[in-house]
Amino acid sequence: MEDCIFCKIAAKEIPSRPVYEDELVYAFYDLDPQAPTHFLVISKQHIASALDLTDEHAALVGHIYAVIAQIARQLGFDSYRVVTNCGESAGQSVFHLHFHVLAGRDMAWPPG
Ligand code: DGP
**Model pLDDT for residues 34-86, shown as the tens digit of each residue:** 999 999 999 999 999 999 999 999 999 999 999 999 999 999 999 999 999 99
Ligand 1 center–CA 54 separation, angstroms: 24
Q: Which atom of ligand 1 is nearest to the CA of 95?
A: 4
Give the span between the Cα atoms of 78 and 1, in whole angstroms: 35
Ligand 1 center–CA 94 separation, angstroms: 7
pLDDT, tens digit, 9 for 90 and up, residues 8-31: 999 999 999 999 999 999 999 999
Other Cβ atoms within 10 Å of 90 Cβ, number: 12
pLDDT of residue 49: 97
pLDDT of residue 112: 81
- Residue whose CA lies nearest to ligand 1 atom number 8: 30
pTM exceeds cut of 0.95:
yes
